[in-house]
Structures are given as C-alpha cells and as structure tokens.
Chain A
Amino acid sequence: MSPTLGRRVLLALALADVVFFGGWVAREESLRRGGRIYLPIEGYDPRDLLSGHYVRFQLVAVREAAAFLKPRGASVPQTFCIEPRDGLYHVKGIRTGGASSCSPFLRATIDQWAHWDFGIDRFYVDERLANEASRIQANPNTYLVTTVDDSGAVHAVDLVVNGKSFGPKGASR
C-alpha cells in the first residue's frame, strides 16, 4: 500500500473513532438528562470480574411483566406500560396501542433463561461499595434511578440502596 493511501486510511480511522465514540458518549449524555424514572430492584450479587466492580440486580419489573405476559413463546420486542406507585414505577400492563396509548413505557426482549430482559442488569460501583451493597436486602428505599428514551430503552443514572446514592454526586436529582 502506498504511503499516501495508508495515511488516508489512518485519517478515515481517526474520523471513524471521533464520530462513533464521540457520538456514543454524546447520546448517552443526552439520555442522562431526561426525566427520572425510579425502578425498584431486587437480587444483589456484587461481582469482581474482568468488567470491573459492579452490582448485579434484577428489576422488579421483570417479575411484574411476566405476570401480565409469560415470556416463553411471546413475540419480541414487547412494551409494557409503567405507572408510579409510592414514588417507584411498576408495570401496569402490556402496551397495546401507539405511542400515545401509555407513557412512560419500557421495552423488553427475552433473555437466554426465558425471562423478560429490559436491557439493564448491572451498575458499576467502587469495590468497597459493592461489598456494602451485598449486605443489604431489597426494600422500598432501594431502587435504580433511570431515564427512559423514546423507544422505551432504560438507561441507568444512579443506584440508591437504603436511601444512599451509589452513583456520581447529584445523579439522583
């Protein structure tokens, strides 16, 4: 390959880096600024794997959605309407109509264990905090602070355990 062509490829690669990774970060940042949805969670399991320190959890919505529609054999993606109850959002039913039929709503696929999968199951925290989280049981003051985009995809902003925020400062607001 000629040096000129090689340098053009390098330029194209740099441009691809900027557009792709820059665009990805910009999109995630804009999604963080949306209205806050508080989703109750359960089932802690702190891990220390190659991915870093993170807390694994399951949204209560997974169980609630299964009560309305069994995942096995259901068509995907499926959308579920949610509503606030005592400050936290719970699934109130399957979304049947168009965008105006219910808001907000969550989009779900089915995971490999045939559970509803809302695309979020972990929150990265410091190792000490992850160990702390492992000793706490689920309760009404334990929830995930999220934003939900137009397609119903969930984006985590903060994890609150026993009223204590584990995310960046001011993320819960």
Chain B
Amino acid sequence: MRWVVWGIASVGGLAVAVGIISVIAANWDDIPEKLKLAACGALLLGSLGGAWRTSRLENLWPRDLFLLFHCGMVPATIGLIAQIYHLSGHPWRAVGLCAVFALPAAIVAKQGLLTDVFIGFLTLALGFFLSEYHWFDNLFQGDLRVVFVYAAFGLVLLLSVSAIRGAHFGASAAAKRWGIGLLAATAVAASGYWATASSRWLGQQPYPVLRWPMGIFLASAAALSAQLWWTRPPALRARLAAIAVLTLLLCGALVGRADETNLLLRQFVGFGLFAALCIAVAIAAAGSGSKLGTNLATLTLAGRVFVFYLELAKNLMTTGIGLIVTGLVCLAVAYAWWRFRRTLPVVALSRGAPG
C-alpha cells in the first residue's frame, strides 16, 4: 500500500516538475539573461548547500541526491552559458568537464550511483573524443580501434575495483558494473565483426591500421590477469579463462577478414569464442556468488545462439549445422548446470548476495 502512495506521489511530483520546466521553456526568450544565469548559479550552489545541510544525517541518501542534482546542474550550466554567449566547440570537452566536477561528488558520496555518473561522463567524453576523429565511421571496416580502446577502458575499471573496494565499496561496485558492461559491449561488437564479411561503403576510405589501441588492450588484459593471480579471488581459473577468451575474440577478429571465402569458418569460430566467453563469465559469476551475473551470462549465451542460428539459416546445410551446434551448446549448458548444481546455491548463500 505504501508503494502505491509513493508511486502516485512520484507521478504527481514529476508532472509538476515537468510542467514548471515547460512553462519556463515557453517564456525562455523573455527571461533576462542575467536572471537565467543567477537562477542557474543558485541551483548549482543550492544543491551543494543542501548536501552540506544533510551531510550530518545518519541516512546519507538525501545528501547523495543533492550531489546527484549537482552533477546534473553542471552540464545544464555549461549549456546555458554556451547558449547565452553563443559558444560552440568540442562536445568532449564539455562532457569531460562534467566528469571533472562529478569526481569529488563520487568520492564523497556513500552510494555508488555518483560513481556511475562519473564513469558515465568519462565514457561519453571518450566517445565524443573518438567521434571527433571519425573513429566510429568505419567501426566494422577497420582495425576495431574503438573496440580496443573501450575494452582497455573496461579492463582499467576492473583493475581499479580491488584498489578502491576498501575505501569506497559503492564506487568499486560501480566500477565493476561499468567495466563488465563495457567489456560485454565490446565482445558483442567483436562478435559482429567475426560474423560479417569485409565490404566498404561507396567512397569510404580505409583508415591506416593502428596497432597501439590493441597494444593498450593487451597491456591492460595482462595487468588484470596479473592482479587476479596475485589476489587469488574466487573462481580464479574461470576469470583468467574469460580474459584469455575475450583477448582471442577481439584480436582474432582481425585475422583473415580480408578473405571473404572463409566467412562460414569465421562465423563458427566467432560464435564458439563468444559462447566460451559467456560460459567462463557464468562460472566466474557463480563462483563469486552472483546469481544475477550467472543468469545474465547464460541469457546472453542463449541470445547469441539464436542470433547464430539466424546468421547461418541460409540453406538446408547451414540450417542443419546450426541446429546441431545449437543443440550441442544447450546440452553443454545443461551439463554445466547439472555439474555445478550443488556448488552454486552454497556459494551464493555463503556470499549473501543472491541478487
């Protein structure tokens, strides 16, 4: 019943807030510039004032909400100043500045949500920066440079997890979320690279091959492996296997792509590596007591099997092979679940983290 009341109140509050914003927007050009800047400054500093006032409370959620509001006001202020003084420029600088202002809030906050905001700004700024140099233009036609840069960023985030866990548990959880999320996104991108033939858009010029993005990825992967070996976390072998398979999935995607005749082989190998990665991640998550991680990895694998079937179902031969591989993967997953059926619930319970 309480949730129903909160739900109705939230909808009401949201409607009022959006209504106020709409009324202000309708009269935006009639509001003097100085008043706009003053109101923006008041909201910016007022959010910090609110955080200050609530920082001595036992429950720190209100303070963190004020800090979250401040993180939202920083891009709003940058946008307002740009609008009033008719400024244009590089978007990555504005987003990077937001990340700089979000960092102290992330350090102070008890919740990991503020770290999510900080890493989100960083990820976006990196994307804008790479986009400015047209790195996204032929994402699937070049040397996977964007994929390697983002994968290296994800690995660096995972490297930082154990370093900051003692000081800020929420921040380390956020870094872990983003690290795994970015690596998952890069694995999906690399998977697409394995499954498609090289073809250029009309008039699109290939970029010169860059080796350093792959170099920083390999260095980060080696550093994370060494850290894992040193700290000996649960499911160490599965984690190391996941890193090794991810490396093969990303680096191997660049091998032999120019030769379009071996597409079927590439599709099979790419699928096999992706499936192996999902299985390794599922085992590592289960070993760490994360039921959510295990379920997500298994679900991703199921999705990839379905996509693989669609990739291959072009004639009876490929459909047949696809069905055989699908069946074998299902049998392997079923066997893995049967094999670990006793261990998984025990590990999950002992960690006390079923979610």
Which residues from chain A sit less than 8 Å from chain B, CB to CB? 1, 3, 6-7, 9-14, 16-18, 21-22, 24-25, 28, 32, 51-52, 54, 112, 119-126, 155-156, 168
A13 near B105 (CB under 8 angstroms)? yes
Q: Which of B35-83 contact A (CB under 8 A)?
A: 37, 41, 44-45, 48-49, 51-52, 55-56, 70, 77, 79, 81-83
B66 (CB) vs chain A CBs: closest residue: A10
B104 near A12 (CB under 8 angstroms)? yes
Given A3-B55, A120-B86, A120-B88, do A21 and B81 touch, yes or no (CB 8 Å)?
Answer: yes
User: Which of A10, A22, A24, A119 lies in contact with B48, CB distance below 8 A?
Assistant: A10
A25 near B37 (CB under 8 angstroms)? yes
Given A17-B48, A28-B85, do A51 and B104 touch, yes or no (CB 8 Å)?
Answer: no
B259 CB within 8 Å of chain A: no
CA distance A1 to B114 in the complex (A): 15
User: Which of A7, A51, A112 lies in contact with B52, CB distance below 8 A?
Assistant: A7
**Which residues on the B side are within 8 Å of A18 (C-beta)?**
45
**Which residues on the A side are within 8 Å of B52 (C-beta)?**
7, 10-11
B311 CB within 8 Å of chain A: no
- How many chain B residues touch A (CB < 8 A): the figure is 34
A52 near B83 (CB under 8 angstroms)? yes
Which residues from chain B sit less than 8 Å from chain A, CB to CB? 28-29, 33, 37, 41, 44-45, 48-49, 51-52, 55-56, 70, 77, 79, 81-89, 101, 104-105, 107-108, 132, 134, 167-168
B81 near A28 (CB under 8 angstroms)? yes
> Chain B's nearest CB lies how many Å from the CB of A157?
8
> Chain B's nearest CB lies how many Å from the CB of A87?
21
Given contacts A1-B168, A21-B44, A28-B84, 11 further A-B contacts (CB under 8 A): A3-B55, A7-B52, A17-B48, A17-B101, A24-B81, A28-B87, A52-B79, A54-B83, A112-B132, A112-B134, A119-B88
> Chain A's nearest CB lies how many Å from the CB of B214?
25
**Which residues on the A side are within 8 Å of B44 (C-beta)?**
17, 21
User: Which of B41, B48, B51, B55 lies in contact with A21, CB distance below 8 A?
Assistant: B41
Chain B contact residues: helix, strand, loop or mixed? helix
B45 near A17 (CB under 8 angstroms)? yes
B41 (CB) vs chain A CBs: closest residue: A21
A6 near B37 (CB under 8 angstroms)? no
A14 near B108 (CB under 8 angstroms)? no
Given A25-B81, A112-B134, A120-B88, do A1 and B37 touch, yes or no (CB 8 Å)?
Answer: no
User: Which of A1, A13, A32, A121 lies in contact with B88, CB distance below 8 A?
Assistant: A121
**Which residues on the A side are within 8 Å of B70 (C-beta)?**
13
B86 near A122 (CB under 8 angstroms)? yes
Sampled A-B contacts (18; CB under 8 Å): A1-B107, A3-B56, A10-B52, A11-B52, A13-B70, A13-B104, A14-B49, A16-B104, A21-B81, A28-B81, A28-B84, A119-B88, A123-B86, A124-B83, A126-B28, A126-B29, A156-B86, A168-B33
> Chain B's nearest CB lies how many Å from the CB of A5?
8
